[in-house]
Amino acid sequence: MSSPTWLRWPTVATIHAYGPLGAGHVNPMLGIVAELVRRHHRVRFWAPAEFGDRIAETGARFEPVTSTWEQLGGQPPQMHGREFLRAMGLLLDETKAMVSTLGQAPKPDLVLHDGTLTWWGRILAHRWQLPAVETLPNLVSNRHWSMNAYTKINPVDPRFLWQMLRIGRYLRSQGIDRVGDFMQGTTAAARIVTVPRAFQYRGDTFDGWDFVGPCLTDRAFQGDWQPAGAHHEVGAEHPVLLVSLGSSYNARPDIYRMIIASAADRPWQVVMSIGDRVTAADLGPIPDNVEVQPRLPQLAVLRHARAFVTHAGMGGTMEGLRAGVPLIALPQMAEQRANADRIAELGLGVALDPDRLDAPTLWSAVEATADDDGIRDRLDWMRAEMDAAGGAPAAADVVDRVLAAQ
Q: Which pLDDT score, from 0 to 100, does residue 247 have?
A: 66
d(CA 399, CA 29): 12
String of DSSP letters for 12-63: PPEEEEE--S-HHHHHHHHHHHHHHHHTT-EEEEEEEGGGHHHHHHTT-EEE
Q: Which pLDDT score, from 0 to 100, does residue 332 have?
A: 86
CATH architecture group of domain 5-213+390-404: 3-Layer(aba) Sandwich (3.40)
Contact 107, 130 (CB under 8 A): yes
Amino acid at 375: I
Contacts with 386 (C-beta within 8 Å, 6 or more apart), sequence order: 196, 213, 214, 321, 322
| Domain layout of the chain by residue ranges | 5-213+390-404, 224-386
Q: Which pLDDT score, from 0 to 100, does residue 79 have?
A: 64
* Arithmetic mean of pLDDT over the chain: 91
Contacts with 357 (C-beta within 8 Å, 6 or more apart), sequence order: 255, 258, 330
Cα torsion 179, 185, 190, 192 to 10°: value is: 170
DSSP letter at 65 equals E
Identical topology for domains 5-213+390-404 and 224-386:
yes
Q: Which pLDDT score, from 0 to 100, does residue 86 have?
A: 85
Burial bucket for residue 144 (CB in 10 Å: 0-12, 13-18, 19+): exposed
d(CA 37, CA 23): 21
SS3 193: strand
Q: Which homologous superfamily does the CATH classification assign to the domain defined by 224-386?
A: Glycogen Phosphorylase B; (3.40.50.2000)
Residue 272 CB coordination number (10 Å): 23
CA-closest candidate to residue 87, choices 139, 30, 159: 159
String of DSSP letters for 372-390: -HHHHHHHHHHHHHHHHH-
Q: Quick one: the chain helix, strand, coil %, rounded to 5?
A: 45, 15, 40
SS3 245: coil
d(CA 237, CA 331): 30
Contact 29, 17 (CB under 8 A): yes
d(CA 1, CA 260): 60
Contacts with 172 (C-beta within 8 Å, 6 or more apart), sequence order: 179
Amino acid at 230: A
Low-confidence ranges of the chain (pLDDT < 50): 1-3, 5-6, 8-10, 230-235
